[in-house]
Amino acid sequence: MENTHRDIIVVGAGMAGLLIAFYLQQQGRNVLVLEAAEIASGQTERTTAKITSQHGIKYSWLIDKVGVEEARLYAQANETAVREYEKLVWENGIDCGFERVSSYLYTLQDAELLEREAKAAAFLGIDAAFTRETELPFEVKGAVCFRKQAQFDPPELIRRIARKLEIWEHTKVTAVKGNSVFTEAGELTADKIVIATHYPVLNVPGFYFLRQHQERSYVLALSSCKPIQGIYYSADKGGFSFRQTGEYLLLGGSACRTGQNRDGKAFERLSEAAGQYFPGAREEVRWAAQDCMPHDGIPFIGRYSMFTPQLYVATGFQKWGMSTSMVAAMILRDEICGMGNPYAEVFCPQRFHFRASVGNLLTDVGMSVRGLAGGLFGRPRCSHMGCKLSWNPEENSWDCPCHGSRFDKDGKLLDNPAKKSVESKGLSQTEKL
């Protein structure tokens, strides 16, 4: 390999890696992006592309469990991200259907929770209000409306950004040691390295596998429905999300921890909802995707660990990776270029919020103990840390409930953090429970 040193190497060309690389390059840095497959072929390809600071019941929870100042900075960071997308789109004349819309978090159950959330968000400076009126084809008990949020269609924006960057596709990073990045094609070096591989691919340092799990969600694209204007997300367990893109209505839901779609009815539940709420609608396409869920509800953006000043990370986007990728780009640009960023501390990966984390931490430890226990025979084991895999009959995949790696029916790796496939011998005969 020739020309093997750069100022910065970004690993992963999803929305996070691309925006981080783009914003660093704008500061005059020489940046290379390394991508194992193709540009935006990971979770970004399957996003529903709402850009919003409304991340479920977030602000009343953050105020309660983490602190008012942290909640305020979280809100400001994401509101700034929405504006920054608009600036990026206008300044570069990118025709990606970007438009400002209202975002709604609705409930069919407990309106009081959402009244609190509306008050918390407004208190933190968001243009938010509680309402009982929505355009959805069913009655809601209540909803929180955030005004001036946004939606877009990612492919054109990604194409325009990628065009300006140096990106090596089909270049899988196998290890990082000090300032060296090892790929299947050889070794490169950089002053700074950013891991933006969705789930961080290095277990040590950082130990992100102890600090987050993955959750999977399912989406149908429907035609022949009355179009909706806003973007909608449910605060209820088992609820649905909605957003219009052109002639299609995207209906999302059936969220579950990766590895727990054992009854294989995730899409069926969406189809039933489509029939109930949009009679006559036609299902055009269906897909699923997953995202990392940090224990304390705050993404990890910043230094990979205390001991690696040259290494950075952006992960834990909780299905809000459009706004959060932009937050990551702004924070990492400022940190790496020594400019300081007002939001960096909130997202700092080295924080620990005990009250916010403890419930999820215990659940994850329980899952890992259960996943690692048991005899050597029975279900196949994950190549990441050896947890037992679960059969997902709907997607014909073996999914890991511990950290969310996925493999196809023959054991070929589909989703990280695992780096390699599992032994295919005997997989088809194993107990598919």
Determine the interface stretch with ligand FAD among 99-107, 186-194, 286-294, 365-373 (rule: CB under 6 A). 286-294
Q: How many Cα atoms within 13 Å fall on the side-chain side of residue 294?
A: 26
Tell me how far apart the alpha carbons of residues 391 and 409 are, in angstroms, rounded to a whole number: 9
Closer Cβ to ligand FAD, 14 or 349, answer by number:
14
Angle (CA) 138 140 142, round 5°: 160
Beta pairing, strands 212-223 & 282-294 = antiparallel
Q: Is the dihedral of CA 260, 322, 81, 341 positive or negative?
A: positive
Distance, CA of 372 to CA of 148 (rounded, Å) = 46
From the list 43-51, 119-127, 347-355, 372-380, the region that binds ligand FAD by CB under 6 A is 43-51
User: Which stretch, 40-48, 64-72, 269-277, 405-413, contacts ligand FAD (CB under 6 A)?
Assistant: 40-48
Is 47 a binding residue for ligand FAD by CB under 6 A? The answer is yes
For residues 176 and 195, the answer to whether their CB atoms sit within 8 Å is yes
The strand ranges marked E within 98-141 are 99-107, 128-131
User: How many angstroms from the chain centroid is the CA of residue 278?
Assistant: 28
Local structure of 259: helix, strand or coil: coil
- Whole-angstrom Cα distance, residue 378 to residue 431? 6
Binding of ligand FAD by 327 (CB under 6 A): no
Among 8, 21, 23, 42, binds ligand FAD (CB under 6 A): 42
Cα angle 30, 34, 38 (rounded to 5 degrees) comes to: 130
Q: Which is nearer to ligand FAD, 35 or 399 (CB)?
A: 35
Determine if 258 is a binding residue for ligand FAD (CB under 6 A).
Answer: no
Other C-beta atoms lying within 10 Å of the C-beta of residue 39: 20
235-254: which residues touch ligand FAD (CB under 6 A)? Answer: 252
Minimum Å distance from CB 413 to ligand FAD? 10
CA–CA distance, 112 with 124 (Å, rounded to integer): 19
CB of 215 to ligand FAD, least distance (A): 7
Which one of 93-101, 289-297, 335-343, 398-406 is the stretch in contact with ligand FAD (CB under 6 A)? 289-297
Angstrom distance (rounded) from CA 321 to CA 93: 23
CA atoms of 231 and 228, how far apart (whole Å)? 8
Q: Which residue matches tokens 């005004």? A: 147
Q: Give the nearest distance from C-beta 258 to ligand FAD in angstroms.
A: 10
Exactly one of 190, 219, 225, 329 binds ligand FAD (CB under 6 A); which one? 219
Cβ-based nearer residue to ligand FAD, 43 or 107: 43
Cβ-based nearer residue to ligand FAD, 34 or 274: 34
Task: Kindly state the smallest distance separating residue 313's Cβ from ligand FAD, in Å.
Answer: 10
Contact 397, 386 (CB under 8 A): no
Toward ligand FAD, which CB reaches closer, 43 or 76?
43
Position among 58, 198, 303, 403 found at the interface with ligand FAD (CB under 6 A): 198
Stretch that binds ligand FAD, among 14-22, 270-278, 349-357, 365-373 (CB under 6 A): 14-22
Alpha carbons within 13 angstroms on the beta-carbon side of residue 426 total: 8
Q: How many residues bind ligand FAD (CB under 6 A)?
A: 39
Options 126-134, 184-192, 285-293, 329-337: segment touching ligand FAD (CB under 6 A): 285-293
Candidates 49, 89, 181, 329; binder of ligand FAD (CB under 6 A) is 49
Which residue in 79, 291, 364, 395 binds ligand FAD (CB under 6 A)?
291
What's the chain's Rg over C-alpha atoms?
Answer: 21
Among 96, 165, 190, 196, binds ligand FAD (CB under 6 A): 196
**Contact of 211 with 267, CB cutoff 8 Å:** no
Binding to ligand FAD by CB under 6 A, coded x per residue (else -) over 97-136, reads ----------------------------------------
**Residue tagged 């438009």 (tokens):** 99
Among 9, 24, 32, 43, binds ligand FAD (CB under 6 A): 43
The phi and psi torsions of 146 (rounded to 5 degrees) equal -105, 120
Interaction site with ligand FAD (CB under 6 A) = 11-17, 34-37, 41-44, 47-50, 172-173, 196-198, 201, 217, 219, 252, 289-291, 317, 319-323, 325, 416
